[in-house]
């Protein structure tokens, strides 16, 4: 069911998702910090999978840098935006395919195929059922070549506590117990309060879910110590004279475990283990649709 909710949510305003990461300095933290670590860990060339890549912002950027890219996403409207933007950017020859699909079922893609795999923007978080996340983790690693870097970003749970405090005056005190227990305690959000279905992670939980498949290289807080301070950060950047210092401070501190823990978005960078992918279970082979579909 959550896949339907996610598709409906992102279909409402596809252009917003294209603009989201560049709408103000605070949102650019997610974009620019991700770019920094892509530059650090991506191979010099090769074929990249942008899984859950939505309107294609990272696809286009990597294509401009000379990478071959396959873009996959669940929402048709986002893929239509991506095709238009790819054409405008003049990188059609580098974007090898634009595919509609879900990150927990990449059966159309071969094993050990990509030089790097991206799952950015929180797509992994939109699989609320842990079984689906396990399948997604297995699939993202399966299609990566041995030792290839894999980048997965998710929504952070501790930051939701701060956001929930901001919502209290607007009636969230009347929310049912499931919101408080499922979302804030366990991270499972079923929708209904301004966002679509998602699982919010602690850094420890994210590491534990993926370290069996990946050798974790680095954990990054994409907003870091500035997390949840959108208005204050935008104001400080607007003054101009602090921009360089704030950006340098952020990059220098965003891998600190405290900065990772409080961040609205957490990026895990891992490398596919040499022993290869775990064998698919019979459930994975036979189950074309998951409980979230």
Residue with tokens 């110590």: 225
Q: Are 197 and 2 in contact (CB under 8 A)?
A: yes
Domains and CATH numbers, the chain: 2-274 (3.40.50.150)
Per-residue exposure over 161-183, b if at least 16 CB sit within 10 Å of its own CB, e if not: eeebeeeeeeebeeeeeebeebb
Q: What is the DSSP letter of 198?
A: E
List the strands of the sheet with 149-155, edge to edge. 95-100, 68-73, 47-51, 116-119, 149-155, 265-272, 214-221
**Distance (Å, rounded) from C-alpha 158 to C-alpha 137?**
22
Give this prediction's pTM. Answer: 0.89
* C-alpha–C-alpha distance, residues 274 and 6, integer Å: 34
3-state secondary structure of 209: helix
pLDDT one-digit tens code per residue, 236-288 = 999 999 999 999 999 999 999 999 999 999 999 999 987 644 434 333 333 33
The rounded distance, in Å, linking the Cα atoms of 18 and 56 is 8
User: Which residues of the chain are under the pLDDT cut of 70?
Assistant: 1, 164-181, 193, 275-293
**Concatenated DSSP letters of 15-52:** HHHHHGGGSSHHHHHHHHHHHHHHHHHS-SS-EEEEET
pLDDT at position 191:
73
Which among 235, 202, 231, 234 is positioned nearest to 219, based on CA atoms?
202
Cβ proximity of 262 and 227 under 8 Å: yes
Q: What pLDDT does residue 284 have? A: 38
- What are the tokens at 270? 């891992």
pLDDT for the residue 117: 98
What pLDDT is attached to residue 280? 42
Provide the 10 A C-beta neighbour count for residue 65: 16
């Amino acid at each position: 069911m959550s896949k339907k909710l996610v598709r409906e949510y992102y279909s409402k305003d596809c252009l917003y998702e294209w603009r989201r990461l560049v709408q103000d300095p605070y949102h650019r933290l997610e974009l620019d910090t991700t770019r920094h670590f892509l530059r650090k860990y991506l191979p010099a060339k090769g074929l990249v999978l942008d899984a859950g890549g939505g309107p294609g912002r990272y696809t286009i950027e990597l294509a401009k840098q000379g990478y071959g890219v396959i873009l996959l996403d669940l929402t048709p409207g986002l893929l239509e935006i991506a095709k238009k933007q790819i054409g405008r950017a003049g990188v059609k020859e580098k974007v090898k395919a634009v595919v509609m699909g879900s990150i927990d079922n990449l059966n159309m893609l071969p094993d050990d195929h990509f030089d790097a795999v991206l799952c950015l923007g929180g797509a992994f978080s939109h699989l609320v059922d842990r079984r689906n996340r396990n399948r997604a983790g297995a699939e993202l690693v399966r299609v990566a070549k041995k030792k290839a870097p894999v980048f997965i970003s998710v929504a952070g749970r501790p930051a939701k506590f701060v956001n929930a405090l901001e919502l209290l005056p607007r009636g969230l005190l009347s929310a049912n117990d499931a919101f408080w227990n499922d979302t804030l305690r366990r991270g499972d959000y079923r929708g209904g309060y301004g966002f679509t279905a998602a699982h919010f992670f602690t850094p420890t939980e994210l590491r534990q879910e993926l370290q069996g498949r990946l050798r974790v290289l680095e954990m990054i807080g994409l907003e870091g110590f500035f997390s949840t301070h959108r208005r204050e950060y935008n104001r400080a950047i607007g003054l101009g004279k602090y921009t360089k210092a704030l950006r340098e401070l952020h990059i220098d501190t965003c891998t600190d475990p405290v900065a990772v823990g409080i961040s609205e978005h957490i990026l895990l960078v891992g490398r596919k283990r040499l022993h290869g992918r775990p064998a698919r279970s019979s459930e994975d082979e036979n189950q074309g649709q998951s409980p979230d579909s």
